[in-house]
Copies of this chain bind each other. A is one copy, B any other.
């Protein structure tokens, strides 16, 4: 893991991973929000890499997307 890897880049990668999964499932932000306790506008901000969410929100997002949390981190990080 490249120790210089920046927080902002990581949040953007995480956010775009959420969006890829969302589109694949054909879910709207509202549809995800119905399955968890995060509202649609916050989910939109998360998917744009603007929110440094916590473990509990990661759990909630995985419920809303009906997917295991580790899938949310299935993206490349330059080594």
Contacts and interface: CB of A to CB of B under 8 A. Distances in A.
Nearest to A68: B77
Interface string A40-58: 0000000000001111101
Contacts of A56: 7, 10-11, 52
Copies in the complex: 2
Among A14, A54, A71, A77, the most chain B Cβ lie within 10 Å of the Cβ of A54
Interface in A47-79: 52-56, 58-59, 62-63, 66-74, 77
B63 A69 contact: no
Q: Which 9 pairs from chain A and chain B are nearest by CB?
A: A70-B73, A7-B56, A52-B54, A10-B59, A69-B73, A1-B63, A3-B63, A70-B70, A52-B55
